Each structure stands twice: as C-alpha cells, then as structure tokens.
Structure 1
Amino acid sequence: MQSKQTQPLVVAISSRALFDLTDSHNVYEEQGVEAYHQYQIANEETPLAPGIAYNLVKKLLNLNDQRAEPLVQVILLSRNSADTGLRVFNAIQHHGLEISRAAFTQGRSTQPYASAFGAHLFLSADADDVTQALNEGIAAATILPSTVSANSGGDLRIAFDGDAVLFSDEAERIYQEQGLDAFTQNEIAAAKTPLTGGPFKPFLEMLHLIQSQFTAETSPIRTALVTARGAPAHERAIRTLRAWNIRIDEAIFLGGLEKGPFLKAFAADIFFDDQRKHCESARQHVATGHVPSGIKNVESANSRKTDIKT
C-alpha cells in the first residue's frame, strides 16, 4: 500500500525508562554523585536488565525489519555523563538494540535534545523533563514504576486515553467544572463537532502513517482508544477520529469502569493517560505513561503549590 510517510517516527527515551537502573539510582540518592560515578564505572561490563519501556522500544525497532527504509528511529537521552553513560551504551549493545544516537547531559534536563532530534514521542522517568517536552509540543509521558510482565505477542499494541491525551481537554473541563450531566449534554449537542487535537494526536498520526503501509490484517501495529466515556458521549470521540482520517483499531468505552483489566485484555505494550487514578489502575496490568496534560494536572500542580505555601 502507498504511504505518505517521508520521515521515520522518532522516539526519544531516557536511560531509566529503557533499562532497570534502580540499584544505581539508589546509590545516587543515598550516597551522592561521586559514589554513583564510581558504581557505574565499576559495573560497566555488567549488563543492565530491561526497564519498563524496553519491550516497547524493542517492538518499535523491530518495525524496521518490515521495510528497506527505517520506519522508526530511537534516541537515547540520559542525565548521565558520557563517562557513566558508557554502561548504558554497553547495555544497548548487549541487548542488540539498534540505537546509535544519544545525548548525555551530566545532570541537566534532557528535554532540549528531544526537540533538537525532532522527537515525536518522549518517554522519561523524570516528570519535569516530560512537562517541559509537552510545553514544547512533543507527545511526552512519565514512565511509571511497574512489575508487570511484558506483552510477549509479536505485534506492537499501544493504547491511549481520549480527553487531554488524543483530544484536547475542552470536554473534560466541562466535566470537572460542571459535572457529568453538563458534560453529557454538551457532548450530545456537539456530537458532530470534532474535538481539537491533544498532545498525542501527532504521535497517533505517525503511527497511522506506518499502519497505512500495511493492510489492516498484516499491520504490525494495533492501536486502541480506552476511555472513561460511555454512550452517548462515545459518538463525538468516534466522529473526531473519523474527521481526522485516523485509523484506530479498537475503541473501548468504559462509562467510568476501572481501566486496568481492559488494558490487560488488549495486551497493551504501553498505555497513556492524563489522570493519575487511571494510571494507577493501568500500571498494575501494563506499562503505563502518565501524561501531565489537561485540567486535572493543572489542578494537581496548583494544589501542590498551595500545600507548599501553607
């Protein structure tokens, strides 16, 4: 099938999202920078175990086996120095990951390099870097701790929340400020008016371009919308995706039910959501990225500021 894709999907990922750096991070937290430096050098040849987002990255890179020209490029962004970062590069080679580009910032924010590399998606364990990336217009999420097993299926499965992730938070604001009845009435009235795109719309568009190179039956990527919306608020979400001319493979309208079990049923390699309560449910079952976007996160940030002042 013909594709309009002219550039690869660029994914920037932090070393703590890609590999399990728990032990070395504990050394840093408990003993300081110098002890961390010595620990990393002493363990330079000890392979790092896969982290939360490792399976996602592995499957993304496997997409390059499908075409002569690369479909995906993965960039490593790390707050390590080049010296301590050598262990990370050794782990990349050990696991056979086709990652050749990286930026090591020696403790500084990695976010500027996500922009410089032209990243469509930025995944990090550092919430501040993620927030900065979102402010720069990059789809970004904080990878949350999880002990779930990776999805062993061959295809890549990515699930998204709707409001404040794929869509803007314009409808969510009505729900938070005026309640469920007002939200429902607004969505019925605006059912044929497409929602504005949210921070993850461009990333979904890039996935759609890759999918367009395959038939629906042979595509190595499967996407899902997993939303707390239920009927009748479902119609506007469906019509929005139709207006964008974006393919979504599965849509799950939960009407407020807990999301975790449904994400497990979908076998998501990762799920993106703006609300912490949904992320907490999700990370018990699948790898999860918190997207600090929308009104709920503005409220949380304001609450933290108030707590600090009081």
Structure 2
Amino acid sequence: MTTPVLRLADAEIGDITDLVDTELYPLHDFDSVRLQALIEHARAELAEDGCCVLSGFLRPEALAQAGVEGQQLSPKTFYSRRLVNVYFTENDPTLPEQDPRRTFMERTSGFVTRDMIPPDAVIHRIYVSPMMKRFIAACLNEEVIYEYADPYAGLVQNVLPTGTQQPWHFDTNEFIVSMMTQKPEQGGMFEYSPMIRSRTEENLEGVGRVVRGEDRESVKILELNPGDLQIFKGRFSAHRVTQVAGSRERHTAIFAYSEQPGIIGRAERTRQLYGRLSEAHLEAEARKVRSDALLD
C-alpha cells in the first residue's frame, strides 16, 4: 500500500490581501509607514515579555470563513488524555520531588494536523504566504524564517471542547504564531510566564514554582478573541490554556515557523500529541534535528 502524497498550500500563490485586513495590516506594502510602525511595536512587545497580540488581523468575511472551516475540521481531531509534565518527558523517580519533571498534569486537548487541512483553507494560505513569513520575520527581528519541516506540526488546529485544557508546557520551536478562529463560551484563557528560561538556562526552580501553582505573580493572563494574531516565544515561556466550559469549542490555528530550516518534532511528543508518526519523524529522531539542547 502506497502512502498518498500530501497536498499542501502553494507558497507561490501567496497573496493573502483578500484575507488580511490591509487597512490595519498592509502586508502587501512592506515599506509603508504603518506596517513599519506595527513591526516596531511588535518588536518592543516581544522584547518586553515574549508576547505580542495583533487584534483584528483578518477581514470579517475571511474570519467567518475560517470559523466555518474550523468547524468542518473539528471531526478530524485526534484527542488524547494523559498525564504529562511541562517537558513531555517520562517520570524519573531519581529526581527530587520539587523538580518540575516530577510534576504531572492532565492534558486533554486535541489537534487536527497539517496533512488534514485543505490547501485552500484560510489558515493554510496564511501559513505558507511569503508576505506573512516576511512580516513575522520582521516582527521577530530575523532576516528570514522557515516553515516547520514537520509534516504534522507545521500547521495545526487546536481544538478544545468543554472540559479540556492544555497544561503548562513549552513549545518545541523558538516561537509560535497563532490565531483563534472560535472562542468558547467560558474558560480557555491563555496564561504564560514570560521568558522563564533561556536557550542556555532551564531555571528548573522557577519553572517548578509556576507549574505547581506556587508562583502566580509572574503569570500573565490573556483573553484572546477570534481574529487575534498572537506571536509568542513559547520555547522560553511556560504557558497553558485553562479548561474550557460550554457547548462551543475553542479553535486556534497554530502556525509553526523556525529560525532554522528542517526542524521536526521529537518522536515521543509527536506520538503523544497526534497519535502517529511519519517517516520524517523517525529519520529526524535519528539525526536529532534540534535548534537547542533544552529538555523540550
């Protein structure tokens, strides 16, 4: 049995001015005074605490379409319920009890992976668009950014029905760009502890206090709305989404980019999140293609 070739969005057809509110975000006019001011604003926000929210990024009709498409994708969601620590590593009883690797939390969220998202979907077109990548790179003060090479995690829709949540965790790449497309009736708040670790320092003590609930002073809370574009340095800031309540699911598109090409998620975490592995994951696990040496 042959594996079908994945159909992905075409980066050469990258004009998304029909989707983005260009009055607010003129991505097509990169050197415009307005866009350059937005880029400077984003850089300042990211430098302060690793998070920037750009409200009303999509045109109303594009946001409505993204909402409908998200509802159509929802039945494809892979759900899993398990106990995880902030690093998605196995329990190690040789470590001290206060080590954050010994604190396990219930994860009950679900994902629709990139290979299941149609190439003409709003979120897929946004993800591959060169003008989008140029804008995000500029906000991050990078010359260029790359799509995540992971065939599943490059673009996902996170789905949180009532009673589900994302516990404290770090992202596997340097930063995450996301956009809510459907807001739940209650809950689903985004909480984060800004830049709690660095590329070279894990800060296990500080992370432990946050995940155990002992430190709430360093935690910031965001109430995101559909159409908000969030740029977030989730590699270094522990974050979570609180439990959702009500009949309406929380849908968020997650656009994974990287400063380096070829980044693929670790096999064990991929299996936990998406329930399966591809040949690319097995090959990457052998090569250990990573951008740093952090726990995860």
Shorter-chain TM-score bucket reads under 0.3
Q: Which structure is richer in relative contact order (CA contacts within 8 A, separation 6 or more)?
A: 2
- Alignment TM-score, normalising by the size of structure 1: 0.25
Q: Which has the higher strand share?
A: 2
The structure that has the greater radius of gyration is 1
- Alignment TM-score, normalising by the size of structure 2: 0.26
Q: Which has the higher helix share?
A: 1
